[in-house]
Amino acid sequence: MDIQIIDIPKIKNANGNIGVIENDVVPFDIKRVYYLYDVPSSAKRGGHAHKKLQQLLVALSGSFDVVLKDGTGKQIITLNKPDKALLITSNIWRELENFSSGAVCMVIASEVYEEEDYIRDYESFLEYVKINK
Ligand code: T46
């Protein structure tokens, strides 16, 4: 599956850490940054794929699970460290769940928001990946 964990460079001293994300860390040009917060522990986010958009997900605080499907396989990645980013390329179904209290999920995206880029129906996603292999 076309996912990857990327290390976010850290500047560390006795007063704490700084995580720095510059263009060389991200394998695409950054067009948008957004974040999910105040997510109830019972909530599921995502439940869609993107045709073009790629993104990095970072647990800035707390933890959550990312369930990934590419039409043939499934993987579950727990994000719980602010110096680790999950790269999700296009055509991968994602669901986010098991948010801890205070979890913040930052997303760095390759595209601006465009509803036409979403596939929100799982059967349509399976058809789409079959055709676009
Ligand atoms: C992903 C997960 C981690 C906008 O108007 N602009 C935006 O930039 C975004 C992200 C959303 N919206 C609107 C579209 C929907 O009416 O906000 C509503 C909820 O958005 P969505 O269903 O995309 O939310 P999530 O949290 O399920 O998914 C988002 C990203 O879309 C998605 O790429 O991987 O966060």
Contact between 27 and 88 under an 8 Å Cβ cutoff? The reply is no
| Mutational pocket test of ligand 1: of 56, 107, 108, 114, the residue with most ligand atoms within 8 Å of the beta carbon | 107
Domain residue limits at 94: 3-131
Geometric angle at alpha carbon 20, from 15 and 49, rounded to 5°: 130
State if residue 36 touches ligand 1 by the CB under 6 angstroms criterion. yes
Minimum-distance ligand 1 atom for the alpha carbon of 107: 3
Per-residue pLDDT of the chain (133 residues; tens, 9 = 90+): 888 999 999 999 999 999 999 999 999 999 999 999 999 999 999 999 999 999 999 999 999 999 999 999 999 999 999 999 999 999 999 999 999 999 999 999 999 999 999 999 999 999 999 998 7
Supply the pTM of this predicted model.
0.94
Q: How many domains does the chain have?
A: 1
Cβ-based neighbours of 115, under 8 Å, separated by 6 or more = none
Task: Output the domain CATH number for residue 47.
Answer: 2.60.120.10
